[in-house]
Amino acid sequence: RKRVSLADIPGPQPESFLMGSLAELHQEQAAEADFRYQAEFGGVAKIKAPFGVDMLWICDPKALQYIYQTSGYNFPKQPERRVLSGLLGDHGLTWADGETHRRQRKVMLPAFGSPEAKALLPVFEHYAEQVTLKWRDIIEGSPDQRAVLNVIKLIAPATLDAIGEAAFDYKLGCMDNAENELARGYNSLAAGIFSSPSKSKLFWTSVAHYMPMGISEWLYANLPGKGLDKARQNRRAAHRIARELLDLKSEALLHSKGSRDVMSIIVRANASENEKTKLADDEMIAQMRTIMLAGQETSSNTLSFALYELARHPHYQDRLREEIRATERVVHERGDSTFTSSDMDGMPFLQAFVREVLRYHPAVPHNYRQALKDDVLPLSKPIRTLSGAIVNEVPIPKGTRVTLSIAAYNREKDIWGEDAHVFNPERFLEFSGKRGPTVGVFANILTFSGGIRACIGWRLAVLELQSFLVQLVSNFEFGLTEELKRLRRENALVMVPTLEGEPEKGVQLPLVVSFAPRSD
Ligand code: HEM
């Protein structure tokens, strides 16, 4: 500890000895504190946990590359964060670390390749169409053919149904019945549990760092609380269905009747593993819950923010619609009624728009890790220490917790240009190369994280976003409402839209929706 110290690293003044920097990082709008740190301290800053304990906050590209990729397994997740992953996804991939993570990921990877994702495109198209039909009914029934819709109210169950079918070939039926057990269990799951955390919640979550994980898990399983009740209801509902599905899929495998959903591929891959590397039944069930957790709220919130950006920038909306109309003509001339993934790959503005939405509104604004040993983090850009030295690397003592700022990396001016804080899809049209080290797994944006535990479902997520956008923008025009002046990007583990002053109403994104103009 004496040899390696963070004493000389500059950082923000903590709010108090007891709370450290937790409140500003988690109670303000998502990433507001991050953007301040970035402007004031650059790529790395010393922040405080309770009781004055030093932690590091990082958005420097080279340091991130080192932590995510070069030295990935030397920077495991923090135990207090793993317990939260376990609460919502059992001992599945987002919880696992080290050798267990390596083993689980190997079995799961074959289900998430490019051909496997493309095969699921019709599922996303189907649910985008269901949203279209429902909104169409509402608008046709309104006197002036337009309606103010809280768009996320239908997008959330649609993406949930889509992930149910894509991942398990199972019809959850959440769009048609919001009261079904699973629909209730997944309705704003992370948002419901983690929005607007109180100071005491933040304090105890952080202090759980020092508790044996078994005790934290027991507390989360048994303590009273509305959020914890929701997590428990979710666990019961998800386990019941996951068990049924696992039996069905294992049975299908016995009769060589595999299907192309994610879980069937994982069941097949698992069957060819040896006894040592095979996932046990409870690990398989955990993966099902993990995929539902990781794949739904992230996608539905990103899509909702995408519609918000279209409403905020009518010229981008028109441009995207023009591109969709032009591609529709090609698709129809060919005798098809739906876009293939190659059609979408051939739409430069759609590609640029999706990338910019992901860059600007990262659904997961932070990742959390800790150093397994004394180490040295390389920096892309030197910093000036408190004693006035200019350094190109930062020593990091064993055990130090690090907050990796996905949101701030995505706004790094050296990488994205001087207008990094402006929503501008054109940056991806003008610039096809890459500035800085490779960090993010998709377009070098960090939204899907990077390295050894980058988002395993990123291809599915991108395809889903593209396919929903094509249908929704083809059919509808989106406009802003007065209420959106109060839009908050709430930090609830995932970033969700809420309205200032109405936290009790949960996730909200009211847009004016009308039929899209059609010249043909
Ligand atoms: C816009 C949508 C999505 C975003 C922004 C997103 C983002 C992320 C991020 C940042 C991580 C890293 C978390 C960490 O290391 O702490 C992650 C991991 C993961 N994601 Fe996604 N994700 C999305 C969609 C999906 C989908 C559709 C699936 C599955 C169908 C999925 C499955 C997973 C899994 C299983 C992990 C854990 C990977 C590991 O630890 O090895 N995600 N995701």
| Atom of ligand 1 lying closest to residue 77 CA | 16
CB 333 within 8 A of CB 326: no
What is the three-class DSSP state of 371?
Answer: coil
pLDDT of residue 432: 63
The interface pTM score, or ipTM, of the predicted complex is: 0.99
User: How remote is the CA of residue 321 from the centroid of ligand 1, in Å?
Assistant: 29
Identify the bridge partners of residue 150 per DSSP, sorted by sequence position: 510
Which residues have any ligand 1 atom within 6 Å of their CB?
Answer: 93-94, 105, 167, 290-291, 294-295, 298-299, 302, 363-364, 367, 447-449, 453, 455-457, 460-461
d(CA 412, CA 35): 10
Pocket test for ligand 1, best of 85, 262, 292, 298 (most atoms within 8 A of CB): 298
Q: Cα 157 vs. chain centroid, distance in angstroms? A: 17
User: How remote is the CA of residue 363 from the centroid of ligand 1, in Å?
Assistant: 10
pLDDT of residue 1: 39
User: How remote is the CA of residue 364 from the centroid of ligand 1, in Å?
Assistant: 9
Closest alpha carbon to 381 in 428, 324, 436, 335: 436
The structural domains of the chain, ordered by start, are: 22-515 (1.10.630.10)
Q: Cα 93 vs. chain centroid, distance in angstroms? A: 15
d(CA 386, CA 10): 6
CB 468 within 8 A of CB 124: yes
Phi and psi angles of residue 312, each rounded to the nearest 5 degrees, phi first: -75, -25
d(CA 284, CA 92): 8
Closest alpha carbon to 383 in 102, 99, 37, 94: 37
User: How remote is the CA of residue 456 from the centroid of ligand 1, in Å?
Assistant: 6
CB 385 within 8 A of CB 8: yes
Give me the sign of the Cα torsion angle 87, 88, 92, 98. Answer: negative
pTM: 0.96
Identify the bridge partners of residue 55 per DSSP, sorted by sequence position: 47, 401
User: How remote is the CA of residue 244 from the centroid of ligand 1, in Å?
Assistant: 24
| Other Cβ atoms closer than 10 A to 159 | 33
CB 66 within 8 A of CB 438: no
| Atom of ligand 1 lying closest to residue 368 CA | 16
Name the strands in the sheet holding 401-405, side by side, starting at the edge strand that comes first in the sequence.
Answer: 44-48, 54-58, 401-405, 366-370
| Atom of ligand 1 lying closest to residue 460 CA | 27
| Atom of ligand 1 lying closest to residue 296 CA | 27
d(CA 56, CA 379): 13
Phi and psi angles of residue 346, each rounded to the nearest 5 degrees, phi first: -85, 15
Give me the sign of the Cα torsion angle 433, 437, 440, 445. Answer: negative
pLDDT of residue 2: 44
End-to-end CA distance of the chain: 71
Per-residue pLDDT of the chain (520 residues; tens, 9 = 90+): 345 689 999 999 999 999 999 999 999 999 999 999 999 999 999 999 999 999 999 999 999 999 999 999 999 999 999 999 999 899 999 999 999 999 999 999 999 999 999 999 999 999 999 999 999 999 999 999 999 999 999 999 999 999 999 998 888 888 988 777 888 788 778 877 888 788 998 999 999 999 999 999 999 889 888 888 888 888 988 898 888 888 888 888 777 766 888 988 898 888 888 888 899 989 999 999 999 888 888 999 999 999 999 999 999 999 999 999 999 999 999 999 999 999 999 999 999 999 999 999 999 999 999 999 999 999 999 999 999 999 999 999 999 999 999 999 999 999 999 999 999 999 999 876 567 888 999 999 999 999 999 999 999 999 999 999 999 999 999 999 999 999 999 998 899 999 998 888 889 999 999 999 987 6
Task: List Cβ neighbours of 471 (8 Å cut-off, separation of 6 or more).
Answer: 125, 128, 129, 131, 132
pLDDT of residue 44: 97
Q: Ligand 1: which residue has its CA nearest to atom 27?
A: 295
User: How remote is the CA of residue 268 from the centroid of ligand 1, in Å?
Assistant: 22
User: How remote is the CA of residue 93 from the centroid of ligand 1, in Å?
Assistant: 10
> Cα separations (Å) of 208 from 31, 89, 94, 228, 249?
23, 18, 18, 16, 38
CB 293 within 8 A of CB 197: no
User: How remote is the CA of residue 483 from the centroid of ligand 1, in Å?
Assistant: 31
Closest alpha carbon to 426 in 361, 325, 353, 358: 353
**Residue appearing with tokens 């905020």:** 312
| Atom of ligand 1 lying closest to residue 363 CA | 5
**Residue appearing with tokens 């309104």:** 142
**Residue appearing with tokens 């899509």:** 303
Cα 88-90-95 angle, rounded to 5 deg: 90
